Structure formats: structure tokens, C-alpha cells
Amino acid sequence: MTEVVLALDLPRADDALAFLDRIPAVTWVKVGSILMTREGPALIRSLVGRGLKVFLDLKWHDIPNTVAGAVASARDIGVQMATVHTLGGRAMLDAAVLAAGGELNLIGVTVLTSFDAASYGRAVGRPDVALPQEVERLGVLALDAGLRGVVCSAKEVSLLHRRLGPEPYLVVPGIRGKADPHEDQTRVASARDAAKNGATHLVVGRPVLQADDPAEALGALFKEVECIGS
């Protein structure tokens, strides 16, 4: 069963906790760099104390020792899943996996969903890059290093599901309904399509956070992916 992860892209801890009081059905939450920078580990402890599974999405990309220390700190405060950037290279990924100690699920970020082929090519200095092949290359690197899975867009999830098999986590952001604006996301899909193509976790923020009835919006997402296995 595909899991739905609510992205707590809200300005403060009080806002996030009050919002969660309105949607008791949520089981997974994502904390990103803005909220984590403002509120710190105390928020993570509060969320874990509520029985929630916490996905810490800080996309660590640094020297191996620094990333290993960050992973160990996340593990110690009860984070269940966290991101490292695959472009950090094999030595960094190896150090992160060692620090996780089998207690924290590490997920490798491949290509951000805000990129299209042209903008990614400019960023890495390879004008002819093909995004699906780049995502596949980085996904294989992540799994070879022992990561639990990868982050990819819904456009590549079917490819990775075939290439990597059914066991790795395939975490897909950029989930949008037909009427939802794409905003800064370029490669998006519906929850049903992403789940059908192999996503194990769907990260959803604005379609729930900005809904008139957040509980109803979350419930609709649950129904959309119901009975669709990965």
C-alpha cells in the first residue's frame, strides 16, 4: 500500500501542530529545511511523541564526516526517514549509511522535480542530459551504497520500479490533482498515477495545506491510492 506523507510546509511549529490537530488520520509527516531551521529538534521530538513517522527532508550534501554526523543526530531524535543528495558521491553515501546503523531509512535525492532537462543540463554542465537516464544512474548509485530508496518524480518512478525492483522505497513529491496549480514543480502527476507506477511514498503539501477542508483533501488522497500496490 502506498503511503501518503504530509509535507508540513508551514512557518512555525505551533502552526504545524495546530494543523495536525485538524487531520488526525495522518501517519507520516515531512519536515523540510524552512521549518527545521526555525524550530529545530524540539519539533521532531513533538511529532514523534504524537506517534507520527517523521521524514526529515534536508537533502544533505557535504563532506562524508559532516553528513555522517547529521544522519546520526537525526537517528538519535527518532527520525524514521531522511534524505541525502546522491550527487554527494559514493564516499558520502557510504558514510551516511554507516551512521544510520540500520535504524534510519536513508533516501537518495536524484533530480529535483523543479528541474526540466534544459535547466538540469545547465546546472551540471551537460547540455544533452536525458533526465530519465540521469535519475536511473543516480538511483543505482544510491542502492549500491545501501540506501533504502530514492526520491524521484512521478515521471521516472515506473522506470526505477523496473530497474531497482519492488523492495526499495520510491518517494515521489510533486503530487497534484487536475485542478491544482503546478507552481514551482515541473514534473508532476496525480496520486493515483504515481502509486500505480510504483511509488511507495507520496509527498503532498499544498493540495492539502491549502484546501478548504484539509481532512477531506487528505481522505481523497487515501482513497485515490487505496488498493494500488507498489
Rg (CA), the chain: 17
User: Which DSSP state fits 3?
Assistant: E
Cell 507520516, residue located: 28
Beta bridge partners of 5: 28, 203
Evaluate whether 98 touches 147 at the Cβ level (below 8 Å): no
Q: Are 221 and 180 in contact (CB under 8 A)?
A: no
Contact 203, 5 (CB under 8 A): yes
DSSP states of 173-190 as a string?
--B--TTS--TT-SS-B-
Residues annotated as catalytic (active site), given as ranges:
59
Q: Exposure string (b/e) for 170-202, b if CB count within 10 Å is 16 or more?
A: bbbbbbbeeebeeeebbbbbbbbbbbbbbbbbb
The three grid cell numbers given for residue 118, joined into one nine-digit string: 534544459
